[in-house]
Amino acid sequence: MTVKTRFAPSPTGRLHVGNARTALVNWLYARAHGGVMQLRIDDTDRERSREDYVAGVLADLDWLGIPADESFRQTERADRHAAAFERLVACGRLYPCYETPEELSARRAAQLAAGRPPVYDRAALALSDADRAALEATGRRPHWRFRLDDRETSWEDLVRGRIDVHAGSLSDPVLIRADGAPTYTLATVVDDAETGVTHVIRGEDHITNTAAQIQLFHALGAAEPHFGHLAWLLDAGGAGLSKRVGSLAVAELREDGMEPLAVAAFLARLGTSDAIEPVAGLDELVASFDISRFGRAAARFDPADLVQLNARQIRRLDAGGVRARLVGLGVPDDLVAPFWDAVAGNIERIAEAGRWWQVVAGPVTPVIEADETSQAVLAAARDTLPPEPWDETTWSAWTRGIQGLTGVKGRGLFRPLRLALTAAEHGPELKKLLPMIGAARAAARLSGRDA
């Protein structure tokens, strides 16, 4: 049996990091077991589904490096959903209901007020043919519910171990809406069964859905897949993630300069017992992947932690891996290697290297402090500026000479030089930047001129 997982987003919003984590875990599970991942666009909600969101899902998965092995849209299989509906009606597992949303809401409120669970009471089963005809004569159209067997449904969850759910705690799920469209529950079971999905890995909010869906698989004569339910992913403040409330989208991470491999490493291990570390590639995540390491407690996605990991991830990149992007920031091709060696440890995003190239190439407005010590250091620096060519030994030899002339050392020596040469108090090692700044720009900046 070939393992087949699936990622089934609804194109009603941008992919947020919780969705991306689900997609990544499905991809990793499939790859770790020699299988494939299916992408199913759950577009049965025709009113809210949008093509730009479909395009966004595809772009986000490609950016993360986890494109699907096969894909389709649920609306392409409408005939299969309709056929399943007919089979379920024929075997007596579906029944028509005529309550309006307002009536159902009032009924649930009354049940809660009475201290009872808000479970559908199957009132529609008591309707006679004449009752149904009368309701339809007023313009009402039925929605169709799947009658659950009154029994316990159990499965061995890939993440949470054994789970038991009694049908008495559930409402009979609606499978067909009043407009005739299939709901998620019907479409997902039919598609999973008929396209060979073997493992369904999704969020813990689907646990009760799973209990009903297992019964639906059986009613359709299909074996249910293996299920795994990941604990919720929360934002830094402890709230649940949702595309409807503007939670952090994958596209925002891309726009913010996060590396896709850093995002993947972060999401793949968030909520596990594994340390979140930079990785050499997705193959490393596949090799170490074990779904049993995910815990039951909700994990928090803190963007600040991701930024820190991103900084560590880019330090693992060699100059060849960033050459095109640095050239795009203005770094000459022949200086990419020494420049990257100088700045990689001082940035959190590769785009930030552009700031340090500005420091190298100018113009830079030097910061010249008026205190006596700074003035003495800068005067000595101008007087002893060494002739080119310069290399990484130039800085230490030059500053030793300045110290000998002025008697100033430590912060009093280095701070005035850094402020004049870079207009910043902190940054990459000057022994590496100085040869690229060059003598002409250094002399001008030491004298307080933009260069």
Q: Per-residue pLDDT tens for 153-208?
A: 999 999 999 999 999 899 999 999 999 999 999 999 999 999 999 999 999 999 99
End position of a domain, from candidates 311, 329, 361: 361
The whole-number average pLDDT for the span 312-341 is 97
Please tell me the predicted confidence (pLDDT) of residue 247: 59
**Residue 254 located in a structural domain:** no
End position of a domain, from candidates 307, 334, 361: 361
The whole-number average pLDDT for the span 445-451 is 95
Provide the domain limits for residue 428: 372-447
* Residue 395 contacts residue 430 (beta carbons within 8 Å): yes
**Residue 328 located in a structural domain:** yes
The whole-number average pLDDT for the span 418-447 is 97
> What is the domain count for the chain?
2
Residue 448 CA from chain centroid, whole number: 47
Residue-wise pLDDT for 202-246, tens only, equals: 999 999 999 999 999 999 999 999 999 999 998 888 777 665 445
Do 351 and 379 sit in the same domain of this protein? no
**Residue 107 located in a structural domain:** no
**Residue 397 located in a structural domain:** yes
**Residue 390 located in a structural domain:** yes
Whole-model pTM: value is 0.91
End position of a domain, from candidates 329, 361, 393: 361
**Residue 311 located in a structural domain:** no
- Provide, rounded to the nearest whole percent, the portion of the chain with pLDDT above 70: 98
Residue-wise pLDDT for 330-353, tens only, equals: 999 999 999 999 999 999 999 999
Please tell me the predicted confidence (pLDDT) of residue 244: 47
**Would you tell me how many other CB atoms lie within 10 Å of the CB of residue 40?**
24
The single residue listed with the structure tokens 């003035």 is 375
pLDDT above 60: residue 361: yes
Do 341 and 378 sit in the same domain of this protein? no
* Residue 95 contacts residue 171 (beta carbons within 8 Å): no
Answer yes or no: is 243 a known binding residue: yes
Do 390 and 433 sit in the same domain of this protein? yes
For residue 432, give the CATH number of its domain. Answer: 1.10.10.350
Do 376 and 443 sit in the same domain of this protein? yes
Do 340 and 380 sit in the same domain of this protein? no
**Residue 208 located in a structural domain:** no
Q: What mean pLDDT, rounded, does the chain reach? A: 95
Query: How far apart, in Å, are the Cα atoms of 60 and each of 24, 26, 131, 249?
Result: 11, 15, 51, 9
Please tell me the predicted confidence (pLDDT) of residue 226: 98
Do 357 and 397 sit in the same domain of this protein? no
**Would you tell me how many other CB atoms lie within 10 Å of the CB of residue 318?**
11
What is the b/e burial string over 21-32, where b = at least 16 CB atoms within 10 angstroms of the residue's CB? bbbbbbbbbbbb
* Residue 269 contacts residue 275 (beta carbons within 8 Å): yes
Please tell me the predicted confidence (pLDDT) of residue 46: 83
**Residue 2 located in a structural domain:** no
* Residue 145 contacts residue 94 (beta carbons within 8 Å): yes
Q: Which pLDDT band holds residue 284 (cuts at 50, 70, 90)? A: very high
Q: Cα(404)–Cα(311) distance, rounded to whole angstroms? A: 38
The whole-number average pLDDT for the span 33-49 is 93
Q: Which pairing describes strands 70-73 and 36-41: parallel, antiparallel, or unpaired?
A: parallel
pLDDT above 50: residue 255: yes
